[in-house]
A and B are shown apart, each in its own frame.
Chain A
Amino acid sequence: MGASKKPARGSVFFREVVGATAVDPHLEACLQCGTCGGSCPSGNDMEHTPRTLFAMIAAGMRETVLRSNTPWYCVSCYYCMERCPQEVHITDVMYTLKRLAIKEGFSRQSSAAQAPAFSETFMEHVERYGRSFELGLITRYFLRHRPLDTVKIAPIGAGMLRRKRFDLTPRKIRQIEQLQAILARADELERNAYRV
C-alpha cells in the first residue's frame, strides 16, 4: 500500500511483505546490523532472529520465512524498533508475517501453534460484544484448543473470580451494530488488499 509508489525492489516476496503492511515499513533500509535480534527478549526462542528473517525475505525464501516461529514469538515490545538505526518498522513487519502465515495455513505448524487460535477467539468476542470478555476468552480458548491444559489454568480462573477480577457475563457496548458494520467494511477492504 504505502510503498506502491516506490520503484520495485527486492524479491517478489519482499514486495509482497511491504505491500501487505499498511504503512511503509522501510524494510529496504535494513543494513543487517543485528541490533534488533540482540535487543529482542524472545530472541533465544526464535528460530531466526529478525535480522536473519529480513535477509531471507530479501532473498525471497517465502515458505521458510512464513513457517518460522519468529513472528509468533514476537511479543510486540517495540524494543527493536526503538533501537533500529534505520527506523525499520520491525514490529509491523512481524504482524504482516503473522497474517501472511495464517493466510497460507502455515502458522499452525510452527511451535507457537496456539497463537492464531488465541487471537481469533479474542476477536470473536470483540466482534460480538465490542469489548473483550476475559472469562469467555480463557474458557473457550482452553477448552477448544488446549483441553489438556485446562486443569493448569483452572485455579487461576477461580482466583480471578474470587477476587472479582473476572466478569461472569460479557459487557456489550450500546452501538454494537455500528461497530459490526465498521468491522465488516474493514474486512472487505482487508480482503481486497490481498487480492493483487
Chain B
Amino acid sequence: MQYGYYPGCSLERNAGAYHESTMAVAGVLGLQFTEVDDWNCCGATEFFSVNQMQAYALTGRNLALAADQFAPKPALPVIPVEVAEPPQLVAPCSACYLNLSKVDRYLASSPELAAKVNTALDAGGLHYDPGSLRVRHLLDVMVNDAGYDAIAARVQRALTGLRVAPYYGCLVVRPGFQGQFDDPEYPTTLDKLMRVLGAKVVDFPLKAHCCGGHMTQISEEVALELLRRLLKNAADYQADVIVTLCPMCQLNLDVFQRAVNRRFGTNFNLPVLFFTQLMGLAFGLAPERLGIGKEFVASRPALAKIGTSVEVEQERAVGKRAKQRNDQSLPMPYMPEEEER
C-alpha cells in the first residue's frame, strides 16, 4: 500500500530511532512510505501560542505540498480513479499528526479560514482544498491497514518474557479530528499489537495521560511531576520497558528520567522505546537497524529478558496482588476488555 509520509523534525534527528525502525518495519510489511518533498516543521504547539495565521499557514503548506505530490495521477484514464478515496498521509509523531489533521478539519469547517490560509499560501504559489488528504497516525496504519494477522505472521522472535507498558500519551487518541481509531480515554490497539508480538502487556492506567509536552523546557516543577506519575505507574505494574508512539513522549520520559529521580529521590530505571523498535526486534531485525542504543536509559538489560522465563516468577507475584485487588467489597472500575489472542 502507498502512503505519503510526513516524518516531522523530531524524526530527523532526536527521534531518528523512530524513523529508522518505522522504515525497516514498513519494508517488512510491504507498506510504501514516500516522504513529502521539502516539507517544513509543523509548528508544534509553539506557533499557535503566538501567531495563529502563521500556525495555520505553516501546516497549510505541508498539506498543499502533500496533496499535490500524492494526487491520483490521471495518467491511466482506462482505469477509473476512485475519486472517493483521498490519498493518505501518515505521521508517526503525535503532534504532527494532530496539527495536520486539525488544520485540514478546521479549514473544512470554516470556508472563511480556508480562504485566508489560501491567501497566505498563494504568496508561495500554493493552494490547498480541505479534505484532499486523509491524515493517519502510524499506529492506526500498522494495526488497521497492515493488520494484526499480517504482523503476527512476520514474528520470528516473539517477545516472551518482556513486560511492556504501552504508553499512548494524549494526541494520538484525542480529540480525533479525523475520526478516532481507538478509545480516547482507554485505548487498547497498542496493547493488542504488543501481545501479538508475544510481549506481556501490563496494566497501565495512566497510558493516555499527558507527558507534559514542551513543559520540560518551561517549568521543570510542573513537567517532572507529570513524568513522575507516569514512571511510577509503569514501575508499580513491574514493566520492563515503556513503549511509545510519539517522539515528544519518548524524549520526556527517557531524557528527563534522571532529573525525575534526582528531584524526587526515586530510582526509576525504565527504558523507553518506540513501538516500531519492538516490532522490528520481533521480526528478527538487527537492533542496529532499529536505532536501539540511542536511548538515555539503556534498554539492553531489559531486552535481554526476551525469551527467558522471568515472566513466570513475576506472574506469580502479580497474581497475588491481583487477588488482593479482587476484594468483592471494593467496587472496581470497569475497563473495556478485549479478546485475548
Enumerate chain A interface residues (CB-CB to B < 8 A): 1-2, 20-24, 41-42, 45, 72-73, 75-79, 81-82, 95-96, 98-99, 102, 111-112, 114-116, 118-120, 122-123, 126, 130-132, 134, 138, 141, 156, 159-160, 163-167, 171, 173-175, 178-179, 181-187, 189-190, 193
Could you tell me the distance between the alpha carbons of A178 and B38 in the complex, rounded to whole angstroms?
11
Residue B325 interfacial (CB < 8 Å): no
Tell me which of B55-63, B79-87, B275-283, B310-318 binds A. Answer: B55-63
Cβ contact within 8 Å between A77 and B122: no
Cβ contact within 8 Å between A164 and B294: yes
Q: Beyond A159-B255, A179-B61, A189-B116, is A167–B54 a contact (Cβ under 8 Å)?
A: no
Cβ contact within 8 Å between A175 and B38: yes
Interface size class of B (residues with CB under 8 A): 35 or more
Cβ contact within 8 Å between B116 and A75: no
Q: Beyond A78-B175, A79-B174, A160-B14, is A112–B219 a contact (Cβ under 8 Å)?
A: yes
The A-contacting residues of B in range 281-307, CB under 8 angstroms, are 293-296
Cβ contact within 8 Å between A82 and B175: yes
Q: Beyond A45-B222, A95-B52, A119-B50, is A160–B217 a contact (Cβ under 8 Å)?
A: no
Distance to closest chain B CB from A48 (angstroms): 15
B residues near A122, Cβ cutoff 8 Å: 44, 46
Cβ contact within 8 Å between B49 and A119: yes
A residues near B71, Cβ cutoff 8 Å: none
Cβ contact within 8 Å between A23 and B113: yes
B residues near A115, Cβ cutoff 8 Å: 49, 218
Q: Beyond A81-B174, A165-B14, is A182–B51 a contact (Cβ under 8 Å)?
A: no
Q: Beyond A159-B255, A182-B126, is A126–B40 a contact (Cβ under 8 Å)?
A: yes
B residues near A82, Cβ cutoff 8 Å: 174-176, 184-185
Please name the residue on chain A nearest to B208 by beta carbon. A79
Please name the residue on chain B nearest to A2 by beta carbon. B110
Residue B153 interfacial (CB < 8 Å): no
A-B contact pairs, 13 of them (CB 8 A): A20-B52, A75-B226, A78-B98, A99-B52, A102-B50, A112-B218, A114-B218, A118-B218, A123-B50, A165-B13, A182-B58, A182-B61, A182-B124
Distance to closest chain A CB from B233 (angstroms): 13
Residue B6 interfacial (CB < 8 Å): no
Residue B264 interfacial (CB < 8 Å): no
Please, what's the 1-or-0 string for B13-47, where 1 marks a CB less than 8 Å from any CB in chain A?
11110000000000000000000001111011111
B residues near A134, Cβ cutoff 8 Å: 9, 13-14
Instruction: Specify the main secondary structure of chain A where it touches its partner.
Output: helix
Cβ contact within 8 Å between B255 and A160: yes
B residues near A181, Cβ cutoff 8 Å: 123-124
Cβ contact within 8 Å between B41 and A132: yes
Cβ contact within 8 Å between A23 and B175: no
Cβ contact within 8 Å between A131 and B41: yes
B residues near A156, Cβ cutoff 8 Å: 255-256
Cβ contact within 8 Å between A193 and B294: no
Residue of B9, B12, B213 most packed against chain A (CB within 10 A) = B9
Cβ contact within 8 Å between A185 and B171: no
Cβ contact within 8 Å between B106 and A131: no
Residue B120 interfacial (CB < 8 Å): yes
Please name the residue on chain B nearest to A94 by beta carbon. B49
Could you tell me the distance between the alpha carbons of A135 and B339 in the complex, rounded to whole angstroms?
45
Please name the residue on chain A nearest to B13 by beta carbon. A167
B residues near A96, Cβ cutoff 8 Å: 52
Distance to closest chain B CB from A94 (angstroms): 9
Distance to closest chain B CB from A59 (angstroms): 24
Residue B121 interfacial (CB < 8 Å): yes
